[in-house]
Structure 1
Amino acid sequence: MSECSGCASAAPDGSCSSESGCDKADEKLQKTLGRIRHKIVVMSGKGGVGKSTVAANIAVALSLAGKKVGLLDVDVHGPSIPRLLSLKGQKPHMGDHVMEPVPWSKNLSVMSLGFLLEDDKQAVIWRGPVKMGLIKQFVEDVMWGDLDFLIVDCPPGTGDEPLSTLQTLGPTAIAVIVTTPQGVAVDDVRRSVSFVGELGNRVLGIVENMSGFACPDCGAVHNIFNTGGGEELAREAGVRFLGRIPLDPEVSISGDEGFPFMKVHRDTATGKAMQQVIEPLLAFPD
C-alpha cells in the first residue's frame, strides 16, 4: 500500500489502493504548483515568536508592491491569519472539488482552516495523516491561479504540518525562519534550520523578531532585552540574516484589530525594519 494522504482514494491511515487516483492527484498538484513562481514557508522551532504576524505582513507588503500573492495558513490547531487580516467569519466559495480562496485585496488571496470551522472555539483533534491530507488539499484544490508568491504560515516546531508543507511544495520551496533574540528561542529555532536542510530545501534567511523595543513616544528603538541571537544563529548556520524587527505595541494592536501593520504603519521604524526583511523577496526574478 502506498502513502497517499492527499488522494481522494486514501484511507484514514493515509494508504491508497488506487494507483490511477494517486496519479491524477499528483498531476493536479503539479499543475497547481506550476502556476506559482515562488513558494515561501514561514516557520519557527519556537512558539510565541510572532511568526504568523511576520508571515501576514510579508504577504501584505508583497501584495502592496504589486505582486500576486497567496497566503496559506496551515496552523491546524491555532489558525490566526483570519484575525490578523480582519477576515474572521469569511467563508471560501466551495465548488466541485475546488475552493476559492478568500480575497483580502485584488492582489492577495487567503486560505485557512479557520474559514471552515463552524465555531472558532472548536478544538481540532486530528492525527497526522488527516492534517497531511488537508495541507495537500489546500494547495491543489484551492483556485490560487497564477501567483508570484505563495506564503505559507506554519505552526511552530518540526512536526506534521511543516513536514507535510515542504514535502507537498517540493524542493523549490524556500524557508524564512523567525526567532526572538533569547537563547531559549534560538536553541529551538536552530532545529528548524537543520530540519529544512535535511529535507533538501533552502533557508532564505532568519528574521530576529521582537529585537529591541520601539518607543511609541520618541520613535527610537531601545535594546532593553537581549539582541543578536538571530544574527548569531544565521552566521553559525551560514544563512542570510534578513534583519531585526523591534517589539512595537502597534504591531500587537494592529494584529488584534485586523489591520496589517505594513498597510498602516509602513513609514515607522518598525515598518522600515519589516521592509528590509521583504527586500530580498522583491528582488526575486519575475
Structure 2
Amino acid sequence: MIPIYTVDAFTSTPFSGNPAAVCILQEFPDDDHWLLKVAKEINLSETAFLCAMGNGSYRLRWFTPETEVDLCGHATLASAQVIWETGAAYGIEQLRFHTKSGVLTAKRLNNGIELNLPAEPPAPAEAPPQLLEALGSVTPVAIYRNRLDYIVELESEGAVQELKPDFKILKNLPSRGLLVTSRSDNPDYDFVARCFFSPVGVDEDPVTGSAYCALAPYWRDKLGKSTMTAAQLSERGGRLKLQTADSRVLIQGQAVIVIKGLLLH
C-alpha cells in the first residue's frame, strides 16, 4: 500500500488555494503509464510522485490527468509540507527535489515554506491565431512567451477577473498554457493573474506556482521591484510572496494537508 495525500497549497485554510495529490513511492515504476493512471484517478490539476534519495533529497515528478509536466510549484510546495508534517525529514530545514527542471529547493520558514525555482523570463512574441480567437473581443496590452507558456497583459484587474476564454480553442494553443495578468487595483498586491492550461487538461488552475517563474521577472522589469506580492484571481484564490534573485524566483507560501490515505493498487 502506498501513502497518498491531498494538500491545499498556497493557503493556510482547508478547501482553498490549489489542491495537489502527493504520492510517496519506494521507487519509480519502469512503466510511466501507472503514474498517469493514478493521476487520472485522483483527477486533480497535479499529482506529485516522490521517491526519497536520502539526506533530504527526493526525486520528484508531476503529472496532470493527461500528461507529465516539466515544472509545478504548488505540488512541490505540497510535497514539502507532507515531508515535514509526517516527520520524514526530521531536523532537515531545506529539502532538495531532483526534477525535469533541475534541482529545486524548499526551505522551512517560521510561517510557511520558501520555494526556490528557476526563473523562466518571457520575451515579446507574436500571438498565434488560436490565442487571439480564444480571447474573443479582449485586446491585449502585451503578448509575451517563454518556453512553457504565453503571457498576456490586460489593461486592468477587472479585465483579468472578467475574462472568459474559449477553452475548446485554447486547448490547441502550442504551449503548456496561457497566463493572463495586470497591475493590481488593490494596494496590498503588485499584480494579479489567472492561469489557463487547457493544452495539458486543466482549464483554469487555482494557484500556479510555476507561472510566477515567468510573471515575477515580467513584473520586476515593468515595476522596477525585485520583491512583490501577487494575487491569483481564481475561484479558490491564492496569495504569493515573490522575490527575484539572479536566475531564480523565490516563492513563499503555506499548505495544509486535508486528506491522508493509502493507494491499494
Same fold (TM over 0.5): no
Higher strand share: 2
Query: Quick check: which has more Rg, 1 or 2?
Result: 1
- Give 1 or 2: higher helix fraction: 1
TM-score after normalising by structure 1:
0.26
